[in-house]
Structure formats: C-alpha cells, structure tokens
Structure 1
Amino acid sequence: MSHLFVFHDVRTTDLDASRRFYSELLGWQITDSPAGPMFGAGDDLWGGFTPLAADDSRRAQWIPYVPVPDVDAAAQQAVALGARIVRPRIDLPPGSVVVIDEPGGATLALWQAASK
C-alpha cells in the first residue's frame, strides 16, 4: 500500500462559499467538470467538492484518498483493525472507493483505480 494521498475531497454544506474561500485564500484553480467542481485543471485534477445535503448529519471535512491494490480487501482489513465503514464501495468510471472512519475517528477514503 502507498503512503501518498492521491486525491482530496472537501465535504461542505455550502459549496459556493467553500469554492470562493479556497480560490480567494489560496489561489487554487477550480475547474467545472461533469462530476462537479474540481481542484486543479486538465490532467492535474487533485481534489473535488462533495456538497452535503441539509439533512446530512455528517460533518463538513476534508477526506484524503489513499490508493490500495484491492479496495475490498483493504476495507475488510480496516474493519478487522477497528475501522468503521462510513460509505460502502462505490464504483465510478476512474475507480472504486470505500470511505472509512479509522479507530481514532478520522475519515479516510480507500481508492482502487480502475484497470486500464
């Protein structure tokens, strides 16, 4: 497994305010894509936004994505080590993700890139 994060997702209750904040404070470029607004441009997209619905009780936060060779095996091992599945496997065109809370409560996304 890797020690590097490959993507970062900011979960927010106010997409417009968060978008403006990061753009104006840090000068980060934000690109509109079919999947929603993303940090970066072209082939260098490194993060995105997930809007939280008003009835979503989860907190606004940043979620880092860490690459794993097998997302199902990594999720199973994470649970065996005391993690909790927050969001079960989701398959997307670029890959598959399982969101977990590690035993200390921090949220992490396990990411398996799609086969090329």
Structure 2
Amino acid sequence: MAENRASAYGEGVPCWVDAQLPDVEAGKRFYGELFGWTYEDAYGSTVWARLDGEPVAALAHKADGRLPTVWTVYFSTPDAEATSRRILAAGGQIVTAPLPVGDGLGGSALATDPEGAVFGLWQPGTHPGFGRRHEPGTFAWAELYARDTAAVNAFYGHLFHDALFGPDADPDFGRAPVADVFPAEMPPHFVVHFGVEDCEAVLGTVQRLGGRVQAGPFEASYGTVAVVTDNQGASFALLQR
C-alpha cells in the first residue's frame, strides 16, 4: 500500500476528483500519456485511473451534452445528507442530492457555494478516495477562484472548520480572487491541481496532445502553477512544488 494511502479522510479534506468528458476513451489516451495513468472499469460508464495500482481519479461519460466538460473536486464527509443540509443553511445550493455509487463504494452529491462554484461531497463506503496524492501524476491541490474571498472563507470555514483550521489541518484547498488569474467576468470555480516534476516540460506535452494553456506558469504560495485545458475542454492545473 502506498505510503500516503489514506484509509479514511477527515471531513472537509479533498478526497477524490473526477472528469465529466464527452469521450472517455479520448480522455484515457490524453491523461494516460500525460500522467502515466492506467485504467479499469469502475461502475457504469465510469473508469478509475490508477497510478502504480492505486486509484487517483475517475473519468466519466458526460450524459448530457449541455453540461460542462469539467474536473470536480470532492470533499470527504461522514454524512452527505447532514452536510447537504448545512450547505443549504449557509446559503449554498444542492445540485445533485446524495446518491449511492456503485456497489457500496460510497455516496456522492454535488453542491454550490453561495457564489455558485460547484464542488462534490463523497461519503466513503469501500472507496475512501485517493490511493496516492501529493506526488507527480496525482492530486496535489484544489484552488477556489472566488469573487469575495472573505465570504467564501466564512462559508467553507463554517462547513469544514477542522480540515481548514483545526489542529491537524491538512487543507489541500486554497481560495483566491478570480481576477488574480482569470478575466474578472469569469464565474467563480474550483481548479483541480495535479502534481508534476517539471511544469514547463509537461506544458509541452499538454499542447502536443491537443490541450492548451490558459494561464501561467506563475508562482503561487503553494508552488509553480499553470492552468490548462485538455483536448476536450476540461480545465485543470499543473503544480510543481
């Protein structure tokens, strides 16, 4: 088992990511070459990406062409129903109510914060989340680009206080103004970051595979970052620490 395998993630810790794509096979080729991922069928049309045998992400077929092609970060929760009620009480919205996933894998929900940024909840069953993280080719960080950072800090600080501010906090989750990186009119949104050893070198691979560079590389408090899109339009970031 990988050294950084977590048997369970605390409430509010980013524990999983998935990409909703028009063409999962094309996504497998893109990310397989970019990050060295291999794949196995998980449930329905969803595949799990693995690195050295450990699960690191999921690729899913986008059922409705009107939905965005997007990477989503999921925060761990012991009770998705209870967390959903707290989100509503704090001014957020529930996009997809908690539903069971697979054969006992867990339960998921989609929500938005008060500014409309979409994030997921994951209530673990037999699948706790990432088998590897914080290394090249795996999840490294989630950054929320917001309109009002004070307001979203209050929202997430209330929702996931221990994960963000508790004595054992390991947040993997930052907040920044949208205009720091994107045009001011860009809606608030999360950007999932994957670790790389050499940001510049990986940018070349992204472009060779049909992706494009949206921003960077630039220096952030947590490392060197470049925001890119894959060859189907899903945005994510590369993080060199």
- TM-score per shorter chain, which class? 0.7 to 0.9
Structure 1's 3 and 88: CA in aligned 2 closer, same or farther, altered over 3 A? closer
Ranges of 4+ aligned residues in structure 1 off by more than 4 Å:
none
Paired residue type of 1:100: A
Structure 1's 24 and 43: CA in aligned 2 closer, same or farther, altered over 3 A? closer
Distance 2:41 2:125 in 1: 22
Structure 1's 13 and 95: CA in aligned 2 closer, same or farther, altered over 3 A? same
Distance 2:90 2:65 in 1: 27
Distance 1:22 1:42 in 2: 15
Aligned position for 1:10: 19
Superposed CA RMSD in Å reads 2.2
Aligned position for 1:110: 121
Aligned position for 2:97: 88
Q: Alpha-carbon deviation of 1:91?
A: 1.2
Cα deviation code 1:88-108 (max 9, x no counterpart):
111131211111122222221
Contact 1:6 1:46 in 2 (8 A): no
Paired residue type of 1:51: H
Structure 1's 89 and 34: CA in aligned 2 closer, same or farther, altered over 3 A? closer
Q: Alpha-carbon deviation of 1:44?
A: 1.9
- Consecutive unaligned residues in structure 1, runs of 5 or more: none
The question of 1:22 aligning with 2:31 is answered yes
Aligned position for 1:60: 69
Cα deviation code 1:47-76 (max 9, x no counterpart):
1112113x4422011111111121111001
Structure 1's 72 and 106: CA in aligned 2 closer, same or farther, altered over 3 A? same
Percent identity for Structure 1 against Structure 2 = 25
Q: 1:39 aligns with which of 31, 49, 54?
A: 49
Structure 1's 77 and 34: CA in aligned 2 closer, same or farther, altered over 3 A? closer
How many residue pairs get matched? Answer: 114
Contact 1:31 1:41 in 2 (8 A): no
The question of 1:98 aligning with 2:109 is answered yes
Q: Alpha-carbon deviation of 1:43?
A: 6.4
Which deviates the most, 62-71 or 29-38? 29-38
Larger radius of gyration: 2
Distance 1:40 1:22 in 2: 11
Cα deviation code 1:23-62 (max 9, x no counterpart):
1122222223445321116862121112113x44220111
Paired residue type of 1:14: D
TM-score, length of structure 1 as denominator length: 0.82
The question of 1:73 aligning with 2:82 is answered yes
